[in-house]
């Protein structure tokens, strides 16, 4: 692993791209070995360093998630918006109402679903990580990339 010294702190380079600083921590092993970009691209469910199964990732939340972030992300969900909504805890009837209120408008449906989730969920669940987990589950890679770009 490449390391770079900045002042007194020692930052490690991403194990995969070797360009960006490693900022994502894998749990439970607590290795910080990838950058945000590479973390979104890897499909394996094990730590690249120790091969332990990844239960959770941290290091993404640099800013607080707000409704304004949902607009850009909603443009990238496509037809997966309903599955993501169910994963985020919305009921099918809520999704059906959104679909009826915004016919033939997938982006509008996606935004309304994300907005409903945002307003409905507990503050501690209203995070980039919660969205990221739902997007990863349904392979919404464009939405993941967009989410990462607004979380700068």
Q: Mean pLDDT over residues 125-147, rounded?
A: 89
User: Does position 152 have pLDDT exceeding 60, yes or no?
Assistant: no
Is 59 in contact with 24 (CB distance < 8 Å)? Answer: yes
- All structural domains of the chain, each given as residue ranges with its CATH number in brackets, are 3-58 (3.30.40.10), 67-150 (1.10.533.10)
CA distance 42 to 26: 13
Is 65 in contact with 128 (CB distance < 8 Å)? Answer: yes
Phi, psi of 57 (to 5 degrees): -125, 145
**Taking the model in full, what pTM does it have?**
0.60
Residue with the bigger pLDDT between 3 and 18: it is 18
pLDDT band at 151 (very low <50, low <70, confident <90, very high): low
pLDDT band at 2 (very low <50, low <70, confident <90, very high): very low
CA distance 91 to 105: 20
User: Does position 107 have pLDDT exceeding 90, yes or no?
Assistant: yes
Phi, psi of 34 (to 5 degrees): -130, 160
Residue with the bigger pLDDT between 100 and 48: it is 100
pLDDT at res. 63: 57
* Angle made by CA atoms 4, 6, 9, in degrees to the nearest 5: 95
CA distance 28 to 20: 23
End-to-end alpha-carbon separation of the chain, Å?
Answer: 25
């Amino acid at each position: 692993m490449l390391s770079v010294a900045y002042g007194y702190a020692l930052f490690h380079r991403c194990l995969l791209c070797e360009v960006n600083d490693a900022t994502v921590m894998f749990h439970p092993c607590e290795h910080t070995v990838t950058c945000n970009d590479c973390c979104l691209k890897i499909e394996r469910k094990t730590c690249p360093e120790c091969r332990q199964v990844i239960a959770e990732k941290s290091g993404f939340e640099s800013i607080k998630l707000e409704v304004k972030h949902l607009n850009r992300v909603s443009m990238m969900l496509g037809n997966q918006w309903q599955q993501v909504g169910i994963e985020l805890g919305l009921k099918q009837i809520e999704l059906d109402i959104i679909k009826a209120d915004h016919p033939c408008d997938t982006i509008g449906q996606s935004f309304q679903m994300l907005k409903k989730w945002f307003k409905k969920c507990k503050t501690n669940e209203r995070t980039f990580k919660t969205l990221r987990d739902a997007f990863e589950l349904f392979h919404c890679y464009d939405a993941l990339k967009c989410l990462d770009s607004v979380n700068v």
